[in-house]
Amino acid sequence: MSSTSRGGGMGMDQAAAGVDTGAPSSIQQRLSRTHTAGNLGETAFNSEEVPSSLCEITPILRAANEVEISNPRVAYLCRFYAFEVAHRLDPTSIGRGVRKFKIALLQRLERENDPTLMGRVKKSDAREMQSFYQHYYKKYIQALQNAADKADRAQLTKAYQTANVLFEVLKAVNMTQSIEVDR
More confident residue, 26 or 170: 170
Q: What topology does CATH give the domain 52-177? A: 1.25.40
Which range, of 88-102, 106-120, 139-153, averages the lowest pLDDT? Answer: 139-153
Between the alpha carbon of residue 133 and those of residues 51, 117, 175, the distances in Å are 28, 18, 16
Q: How confident is the model at residue 34 (pLDDT cuts 50, 70, 90)?
A: very low
Domain boundaries, the chain: 3-37, 52-177
pLDDT at 136 over 80: yes
pLDDT at 6 over 60: no
- Residue 182 is predicted with a pLDDT of 52
Q: Sign of the CA dihedral 22, 23, 25, 26? A: negative
Is the pTM above the cut of 0.75?
A: no
Q: How far apart are CA 181 and CA 147, in angstroms?
A: 28
